[in-house]
Amino acid sequence: MTTSSVTRLRRGLVLPLLLLVAWEASSRTGLVDPRFLPPLEAILSTALTEIRSGGLVRHLAASLARDLLGFAIGASAGAAFGALLGLSPLAARLFGPTFHAVKQIAVLAWIPIISIWFGFAESAKVVFIALAAFVPVVVNTKEGVASASPQLVEVGRALRFSRRQMLLRVFLPSALPSIATGLQLALIYSWLATVGAEYFMAVGPGIGGLIIAGRERFQMDLVMLGVVILGLVGFLLNATAASLAARALRWRTA
C-alpha cells in the first residue's frame, strides 16, 4: 500500500471514528435512550454471542451467496445486452427506448411484480438482485462500446477483422474502463438489493432477516449489529471491486 493510499485511508476513517465516539457518548450519558441506541459494548457482546452460536456466520454466508449469484447473473446479462445496444444501431433503435424508460423505475418498485411471478422463495431474491446489477452494467457497457475510437474501427475494417476480432481487439479494450465502472456500481447496487430483498421478502436466513428478528423482539443491539455488518460488507465489496478494476486496467497506464 502506497503512502498516498495510507493517507486517504486515515482521512476516510476520521468521520466513522467520530461517529462511533458520539454514539458511545450519547448512549453512556443517557442523551439517547440506550434501548434505542445501545452502547457499543452491548453490540459487541451480541456479535460474540451470534458468532459462537453460528447464527451470524450462517446469515452472512446466505446474504453473500445470493448477492454474488444475483450479481453474476445480472452483470453477465447486462454486459451482453449493453454490447448489443452499443454495436448494433438496429438493436439500439428497437430496444433502447424501452430500456431507457424501464431503467427510470425504482428497483424497489419491482418487488411486488417479482413476488407475484416468483413468490418469496430464493429465486425471487436472486432475480431482484440480478435486476439491480443489470442496469448499470448495460449503461456503462453500451457507452464504452459506442465510444470506441473511430480511427481504430477503421483500422480494423482495413485489416478485414472478423466480427469476433473487432469485438475482442477493438471494442472490448476500448470499453474496459467503462465496463469496470459498471461492474463496480453493479456490485454496490446488488448488495443494496440483497438487503432490500431480505427485508421485504423475508424468507430464509440473511442479514436482512437478522435485522427483522431484532426489530420484532425489540432487540436493538441485534438490529444495530445487522446495520454495522451491512455497512462493513458494503465498504469491503466496494474497496475490493475498485482494487480489482485498478489492477485490470493497469496496462492502460503502463
Superfamily of the domain at 38-249: MetI-like (1.10.3720.10)
* pLDDT at residue 3 is higher than 90: no
Which carries the bigger pLDDT value, residue 231 or residue 170?
231
Measured distance CA(120)–CA(132) in Å, rounded: 17
Which carries the bigger pLDDT value, residue 175 or residue 9?
175
* pLDDT at residue 81 is higher than 90: yes
* pLDDT at residue 2 is higher than 70: no
- Give me the residue spans of the domains in the chain: 38-249
| Segment 220-249 mean pLDDT | 84
Supply the pLDDT for residue 253.
Answer: 52
Among 38-42, 107-111, 173-177, the least confident range: 173-177
Among 24-33, 102-111, 178-187, 204-213, the least confident range: 24-33
* pLDDT at residue 130 is higher than 90: yes
**Residue pLDDT, tens place only, 134-165:** 999 999 998 888 777 677 777 667 777 777 77
pTM for the full model? Answer: 0.83
| Segment 68-73 mean pLDDT | 95
* pLDDT at residue 109 is higher than 70: yes
Q: How many percent of the chain have pLDDT more than 70?
A: 89
